[in-house]
A and B are shown apart, each in its own frame.
Chain A
């Protein structure tokens, strides 16, 4: 059974703090890593798709890195704002899983003004 693990499970920060979360996955047969942002009462929204070791992606104040050899990805948010409050999901795609994403349990971020 393939497990994708996210930590921490929840995070409470003050507006302006920078924060980061971790996604761990098995490195064997790894193909791609996805990050999604999921606000309450909305659909999850795709942030990044990364495939190559050492990949770095950036969207505004949010960035992500990927280490496929050791099986982890970091998501960083610089200068958190209340509108960043959401659950951040990572999901991994493996060669032998028929195109199915395996999701982590998510990190719930709460940013206080």
Chain B
């Protein structure tokens, strides 16, 4: 079955550490996205990529970095510069007909 796989489901990070969240899709979609959700807020766009080797900052890109070396993969790195990284992170890919989402990664800073 085609879909998006995010891993890990839960991640704990010590302050000052970088962590990388994985997102892989086998839908052959060109566009991929990373969103962040905080309690009581909507999904906020971190980074997106419309094509391999190209990506754009979203509304809240500070403290995050991404790469898009393969069409199937769009990993997100949460760097130590991100002041408040504890959140739920959702990856998606899209065609005009809609987005397909992964099941998310919950990141907690300990």
Residue ranges of A at the interface with B (Cβ–Cβ < 8 Å):
4, 6, 9, 32, 34, 36, 41-44, 46, 49, 89, 91, 98-101, 103-106
CA distance A31 to B42 in the complex (A): 20
- Contact (A43, B104) CB under 8 Å given A89-B42, A105-B40, A105-B42: yes
Contact B31 A99 (CB under 8 A): yes
Interface size grouping (class) on chain B: 20 to 34
Nearest A residue to B43, CB-CB: A103
Return chain B residues, CB-CB under 8 Å to A91: 43, 99
Contact call A49/B97, Cβ cutoff below 8 A: yes
Q: Which 10 A-B pairs have the closest CB atoms?
A: A105-B42, A46-B98, A43-B101, A103-B43, A44-B101, A103-B42, A43-B103, A49-B98, A104-B42, A34-B98
